[in-house]
Amino acid sequence: MASNRFPIMEIFGPTIQGEGMVIGQKTMFVRTAGCDYSCSWCDSAFTWDGTGKQDIRMLMASEIFQELSRIGGESFSHVTLSGGNPALLPQLNELIDLLHENGIAVALETQGSLWRDWFLQIDELTLSPKPPSSGMQTDWDILDELVSRLSDHNRCFCLKVVVFDDADIRFAEEVHRRYPEVSMFLQAGNNDIMETDSTVLLKRLMKCYEWLVQSVMASTVLRSVRVLPQLHTWLWGNKRGV
Amino acid sequence: MASNRFPIMEIFGPTIQGEGMVIGQKTMFVRTAGCDYSCSWCDSAFTWDGTGKQDIRMLMASEIFQELSRIGGESFSHVTLSGGNPALLPQLNELIDLLHENGIAVALETQGSLWRDWFLQIDELTLSPKPPSSGMQTDWDILDELVSRLSDHNRCFCLKVVVFDDADIRFAEEVHRRYPEVSMFLQAGNNDIMETDSTVLLKRLMKCYEWLVQSVMASTVLRSVRVLPQLHTWLWGNKRGV
């Protein structure tokens, strides 16, 4: 019976997915609380560092769907599960099933630190191993397992690496060499998640993106990859809930 | 024998694809001359209005590939065929075959005004019927035929509509209603292709994109679509060859 409760931090939309494999997609967002990582530059640290604790609600799948319907009305048919790391929730399939029953496609992003059988039900799955600048370590055995299971099942998934510096580019090259058949996205990092002046921020973000584009263009390892910014931060700065 | 010559306007890269279904993709561009349309806002009018006539070279597939290799070196494995309308060239499969033989994926954009059997060889095909603001008329019978042939062959393709105003959004809704199963992209139009001040242009383009995002978010017809800008114009303005 679908009666588990999930720690939910935010439900919002419809808006666009600002990054990654379905960039531009009209979608609703469900953000779960809790993460097994603590990336130095995390732009959603409030989901795991305690500062957003008071916003966490323990909701059942049916309650999440009700809220999505209430705020999204008839205008959406796509939901993005984000975090934190939603893969921490073993029964999240209850929500995914309910969304699918209602004709809604489901995207999810996770760092790839653990496997869930319900990954096979996700319509667009992003595995985002974290580069050196994050301070995190990738467990390659686990990532190998995830990639091979998803590939074996012909799932629609990609790898995404957020890049801040040259060491991160080397890491992205390592990922791409290891999984050459998997669609690969490089994303320019947001190196100032505290900046409130959106014009100042935009200039900085565009510079970072141009640097990343130039670096990738010069690489003979990163031959067929996609390089993207975070469109939502270009548009709306570091604001939450958009 | 592959000895046909094609009217080529530009060969450049590697750079990113700034728009559409493979936005962000590292790619080389081959731009063909000639178009059966004359959209009022065309950002590549030099391919068909006579102003770029002196730049047209009649090249064989092997010569095009040589030039791609010379300027792109070992850094690419993706080529985008753009125009003008490359679909005007019945023997373009000679180039596509040669690229594939060399392990290079091929993307193409065309308005969908005529069919070519070689469409079935394109790795990422974009059909971009033109909205009212263009001044062009869509032949729906032909577009129906293209969509059904590509669908029957399970090809990777999408529909893209460039949007400037409300009438264009209605047109996009019509397209989406007619082909609900096909991936659908809406792209904010560049309403000033003469602006040379890139800061002024960026502000204007971002405003247009935000307007489009808001319009689509409110639509109950455009439920699962993707809304994108032209990233290259945000970065580099109206400059050619980037």
Both structure tokens of A201 = 């921020």
Query: Residue A199 has what pLDDT?
Result: 85
Quickly tell me which residue has 């970065």 as its tokens: B235
pLDDT exceeding 70 applies to what percent of chain B?
Answer: 99
Residues contacting A63, CB < 8 A, separation 6+? none
Q: Using alpha carbons only, give the angle A228, A180, B124 rounded to the nearest 5 degrees.
A: 60
Position B34, amino acid:
G
Chain B nearest-CA distance from A49, in A, is: 32
Report the residue from B24, B206, B213 with minimal CB separation from A16: B213
Q: How many angstroms separate the Cα of B9 from the Cα of each of A28, B32, B47, B100?
A: 42, 5, 7, 22
B116: nearest Cα among B32, B194, B207 = B32
Residue of chain B whose Cα is closest to the Cα of A13: B217
Return per-residue pLDDT of chain A as tens, 242 residues. 578 999 999 999 999 999 999 999 999 999 999 999 999 999 899 999 999 999 999 999 999 999 999 999 999 999 999 999 999 999 999 999 999 999 999 999 999 999 999 999 999 999 999 999 999 999 999 999 999 999 999 999 999 999 999 999 999 999 999 999 999 999 999 877 778 888 888 999 999 999 999 999 999 999 999 999 999 999 998 777 76
Calpha distance B120→B149 (Å, rounded): 9
Is CATH 3.30.43.10 the right assignment for the domain spanning B5-236?
A: no
Q: Does A216 touch chain B (CB under 8 A)?
A: yes
Does any CB of chain B come closer than 8 Å to the CB of residue A155? no
Q: Which of B162, B206, B224 to mutate to test the interface with A (most CBs of A within 10 A)?
A: B224
C-alpha triplet B222, B218, A86: angle, nearest 5°: 80
Give the burial string for A72-82 (b: 16+ CB within 10 Å, else e).
Answer: beebbbbbbbb
Contact A155, A117 (CB under 8 A): no
Residue type for position B80:
T
HSE (side-chain half, CA atoms, 13 Å) at B114: 10
Whole-angstrom CA distances from A39 to A45, A115, A156, A192 are 8, 20, 26, 14
Q: Which residue of B has its CA nearest to A205?
A: B235
The pLDDT score that the predictor gives to residue B1 is: 60
Cα B36–chain centre separation: 14
- Closest CA of chain B from A17, distance in Å: 9
Residue-level pLDDT at A1 = 59
What are the residue ranges spanned by the domains of chain A?
5-236
Residue B22 has its nearest CB partner, among A14, A218, A226, at A226
Which ipTM did the prediction report?
A: 0.95
With a cut of 70, list the residues of chain B below it in pLDDT: 1, 242
Query: How far does Cα B149 stand from its chain's mean position?
Result: 19
Asked whether the beta carbons of B175 and B159 are under 8 A apart, the reply is yes
Nearest by Cα to A226 from A186, A190, A188: A186
Token pair recorded at residue B158: 């999408």
- Tell me the C-alpha distance between A64 and A6, whole Å: 9
CA B9 – CA B47 distance, rounded (Å): 7
Tell the burial category of B19 from Cβ atoms under 10 Å away from its Cβ (0-12, 13-18, 19+). buried
Distance from CA of A79 to the nearest CA of B (A): 10
CA A39 to chain centroid, in Å, comes to 13
- Helix A166-178 to helix A198-218 angle (10° resolution) is 50
Distance (Å, whole) CA A212 – CA A166: 9
Mutate to test the interface with B, among A200, A222, A224, A232 (most CBs of B within 10 A): A224
Phi-psi region of A50 (alpha: psi -120 to 50; beta: other; left: phi over 0): left
pLDDT in tens, B95-148: 999 999 999 999 999 999 999 999 999 999 999 999 999 999 999 999 999 999
B57 three-class SS = strand
pTM for this predicted structure:
0.95
> Which residue in A94, A107, A128 sits closest to A26, CA to CA?
A107
Residue that has been written with the tokens 């960039």 in this structure = A23
Q: Are strands A5-16 and A26-32 parallel, antiparallel or unpaired?
A: antiparallel
A123: Cα within 13 Å, side-chain hemisphere:
16
